């Protein structure tokens, strides 16, 4: 063997090792991105469950409140929030928060006040978990290797879910 042949063998081995390392790194990033997307989906399902529970409690408060426009608005806002498609969910939940603030605390039975506080806490926690998962998925999805090699496919990065959780009452 000549020296030129040995050099080409060494260069080929180094290039092969580099390609193997790149393939392993890409597979690791793709697996991590997939797991983060699953985490985002599960966190969104938990968020929707917490939001639906808050809507049920809001409807119960509306049914026990004295007849008035505030109670009707609260019931309508709760129904609209549950029926809203994913793109419009934030706005519908914000309208529900405003409607909840429109019904005075004195109009609410103590049991429902405690249920609403618990539901609000669960919404806050679920929203934080969801937004944390979105942050992690967006951070990895925005990396150069992930974008260049299209490890995330053609899917869009997940969006944050921002709502007003508590609006102070106007009464």
Q: Which domain holds residue 77?
A: 28-148
Query: Is the per-residue pLDDT at 17 higher than 50?
Result: yes
Kindly report, residue by residue over 108-152, the tens digit of the pLDDT: 778 888 999 999 999 999 999 999 999 999 999 888 888 888 887
**pLDDT computed for residue 78 by the predictor:** 93
Q: Is 6 part of a structural domain of the chain? A: no
The rounded distance, in Å, linking the Cα atoms of 18 and 1 is: 25
The total domain count for the chain is 1
Q: Is 99 part of a structural domain of the chain? A: yes
The rounded distance, in Å, linking the Cα atoms of 67 and 60 is: 13
Do the beta carbons of residue 137 and residue 40 sit within 8 Å?
yes
Q: Is 163 part of a structural domain of the chain? A: no
Q: Is 143 part of a structural domain of the chain? A: yes
Assessment of whether the complete model's pTM goes beyond 0.85: no
Do the beta carbons of residue 84 and residue 69 sit within 8 Å?
no
Q: Is 22 part of a structural domain of the chain? A: no
Residue entry with tokens 């092969």: 16
Q: Is 61 part of a structural domain of the chain? A: yes
């Amino acid at each position: 063997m000549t020296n030129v042949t040995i050099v080409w063998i060494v260069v080929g081995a180094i290039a092969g090792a580099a390609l193997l390392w790149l393939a392993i790194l890409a597979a690791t990033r793709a697996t991590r991105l997939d797991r983060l997307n699953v985490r985002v989906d599960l966190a969104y399902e938990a968020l929707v469950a917490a939001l639906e529970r808050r809507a049920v409690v809001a409807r119960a408060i509306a049914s026990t409140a004295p007849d008035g426009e505030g109670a009707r608005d609260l019931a309508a806002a709760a129904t609209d929030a549950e029926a809203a498609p994913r793109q419009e969910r934030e706005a519908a939940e914000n309208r529900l928060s405003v409607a909840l603030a429109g019904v005075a605390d004195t109009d609410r039975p103590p049991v429902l006040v405690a249920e609403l506080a618990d539901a609000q806490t669960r919404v806050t926690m679920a929203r934080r978990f969801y937004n944390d998962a979105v942050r992690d998925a967006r951070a990895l999805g925005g990396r150069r290797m992930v974008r260049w090699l299209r490890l995330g496919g053609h899917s869009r990065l997940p969006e944050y879910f921002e709502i007003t959780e508590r609006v102070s009452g106007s009464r």
